[in-house]
A and B are shown apart, each in its own frame.
Chain A
Amino acid sequence: MTDIKLAVESVGMKFQTTEGETEAISDVSFSVQAGEFVSIVGPSGCGKSTILNIISNLTQPTTGEIKVNGKVGYMLQRDHLFEWRTILKNCLIGPEIQGQDLKAARENVKRLLKTYGLEEFMHHYPGQLSGGMRQRAALIRTLAINPDILLLDEAFSALDYQTRLAVVDEVWSILRKENKTALIVTHDIAEAISISDRIVVLSHRPAVVKNIYTIEFTHPGLTPLENREDEKFRYYFNAIWEELDVHVTSE
């Protein structure tokens, strides 16, 4: 048996509001192994983010359960750096909240900032950084608590296209280098293919797993940006596109 970091087991989720009940997720199961990058794609509103919320313990599933082997770090769509804190202090928010040894955490964060080119901006406020740099800072903030598994919820979608391609490469190599496992939610099929080892395709609401693709490129071991050039890239794209069954005209 391989080292399973995260297992989602027949999770279902119903939301209650005064207007009524919405079944967001019907029955979803999949697992993520150590060091693996898994993406979840699916039509909008199919409960992708809800799954991450359940994994990170923000909401309780109605049915099923989650097994997590290790510490979870969560990265949101926008960087949400606190404007009133310097970059260094922003990155230390996690250890602060979790009551970790701040001295050790500070050294760790400083090392990360240095490794990933933010050392000279350590004492700057977020307003003084570019979008790409802010996202990198947000990643370091997530890494500061030493998570084993990273959840990325549309973590790049607030960036413009060029920055985004660069940041995806960057984040990918950082996570690989730091030996992390990642679960990525995205609506961007190309991004999912370029970055992942496997892709979980969800159906319309209420979501079930439609298919799980294992991505095997002809030239393995390349960066996400280089992967986009691979011969098999198009093939996966078309397959997943078909599977998503997107209709623009009829809702």
Chain B
Amino acid sequence: MSRVNNISPERKAYIKQIKQRKASIHMVQISILILFFVLWETAANLRWIDPFITSQPTRMFKTLKVLHSSGSLYLHIGSTIWETFIGFTVGTMGGILIAILLWWSNFLAKVSEPYLVVLNALPKVALGPIIIVWMGNGMPAIITMALLISIIVTIISMLNAFLNVDEDKIKLLKTLGATKYQILRKVILPASLPNMISALKVNVGLSWVGVIMGEFLVSKAGLGFLIVYGSQVFKLDIVMTSVIILAIAAAIMYVGVSYFEKKILKWQQ
């Protein structure tokens, strides 16, 4: 390993090249985004496309301002994020807890296997109407939907991860006289951490799906509600604005999970 103050010219050139490449990738990514919006705006202004059905960035911005000044923007964003967050947290935690339970009892795992497979294959949207009847016309129904959609996948993927932990690692602990609980804590859980993180990542996406779906079906507030409402009254400005906000919110949540991943998995580098 060369020291920091002793970098060869070749290394310098190499590092520079890497940095340049990174910078150009970022540049192109940002350019595409800007170009897309500029093109959209121009196309709408020149009437290549009909802004009444496609909306356009300036109109979306105006809509945003209106929603902002009426204060309802934050109500909608807030309730959607809250529902997603709860659905995500409970779905992930619950899924992991149930997976632990099934790992603990092989008998239970075998018994539940066919049920899990069927529940996993079943499109959870189909349960929407039932959930609404049972849980009422509001937030609990939406959260339940988000939870249902992520919990089954979490159970299956986490149980798989637990069962795939190297047998010899477990044997190592057994030779030391470890109890089942110690095996769970010292090997199974830490070894499955990368899988847990990827489950988190998948669940972020799934929870958004569940929440928006739920909001389409019932809600009185939220971004999903705005989208449906906007399309029903044919105000595509509202629809498009909500979709963009949704994209930003989902991206932020994903970045949060990635950050969490980096902090937790420092041994993987």
From residue B209, how far is it (CB to closest CB) to chain A in Å?
A: 32
From residue B170, how far is it (CB to closest CB) to chain A in Å?
A: 10
With known contacts A84-B191, A84-B193, A98–B177 Cβ distance under 8 A: yes
B21 near A: Cβ within 8 Å? no
Q: Are B187 and A82 within 8 A (Cβ)?
A: yes
Instruction: A56-B175, A83-B268, A84-B191 given; name 18 further pairs at CB < 8 Å.
Output: A58-B174, A73-B175, A74-B175, A76-B168, A76-B172, A77-B168, A78-B168, A82-B169, A82-B186, A84-B190, A93-B173, A93-B176, A93-B186, A97-B173, A97-B177, A98-B177, A125-B267, A145-B176
Per the 8 Å Cβ criterion, residues 78-100 of A in contact with B are: 78, 80, 82-85, 93-94, 96-98
B166 near A: Cβ within 8 Å? yes
A70 near B: Cβ within 8 Å? no
Give Cα A145 to B175, complex, Å.
Answer: 11
Closest to A83 in B: B267
Give Cα A125 to B171, complex, Å.
Answer: 21
Residues on B facing A (Cβ under 8 Å): 166, 168-169, 171-178, 182, 186-187, 190-191, 193, 267-268
Give Cα A73 to B186, complex, Å.
Answer: 18
Closest to A52 in B: B175
A127 near B: Cβ within 8 Å? yes
10 contacts between A and B (CB under 8 A): A58-B171, A58-B175, A73-B175, A80-B169, A82-B169, A84-B267, A85-B190, A94-B176, A98-B177, A127-B267
Q: Are A82 and B175 within 8 A (Cβ)?
A: no
Give Cα A154 to B186, complex, Å.
Answer: 25
Residues on A facing B (Cβ under 8 Å): 56, 58, 72-74, 76-78, 80, 82-85, 93-94, 96-98, 125, 127, 145
Residue of B168, B172, B182, B268 most packed against chain A (CB within 10 A): B172
A125 / chain B contacts, CB cutoff of 8 Å: 267
From residue B110, how far is it (CB to closest CB) to chain A in Å?
A: 15
A72 / chain B contacts, CB cutoff of 8 Å: 175
Closest to A138 in B: B172
Q: Are B176 and A98 within 8 A (Cβ)?
A: yes
With known contacts A76-B168, A125-B267, A127-B267, A82–B174 Cβ distance under 8 A: no
B190 / chain A contacts, CB cutoff of 8 Å: 82, 84-85
A94 / chain B contacts, CB cutoff of 8 Å: 176
B191 / chain A contacts, CB cutoff of 8 Å: 82, 84
Give Cα A159 to B169, complex, Å.
Answer: 18
From residue B192, how far is it (CB to closest CB) to chain A in Å?
A: 10
Give Cα A84 to B168, complex, Å.
Answer: 16
Closest to B173 in A: A97
From residue A77, how far is it (CB to closest CB) to chain B in Å?
A: 8
Give Cα A72 to B171, complex, Å.
Answer: 14
Q: Are A80 and B166 within 8 A (Cβ)?
A: yes
Give Cα A125 to B190, complex, Å.
Answer: 14
From residue B162, how far is it (CB to closest CB) to chain A in Å?
A: 15
A80 / chain B contacts, CB cutoff of 8 Å: 166, 168-169, 172
Give Cα A85 to B172, complex, Å.
Answer: 15
Residue of A78, A97, A145 most packed against chain B (CB within 10 A): A97
B172 / chain A contacts, CB cutoff of 8 Å: 74, 76, 80
A83 / chain B contacts, CB cutoff of 8 Å: 267-268
From residue A142, how far is it (CB to closest CB) to chain B in Å?
A: 9
Q: Are B182 and A97 within 8 A (Cβ)?
A: yes
From residue A221, how far is it (CB to closest CB) to chain B in Å?
A: 31
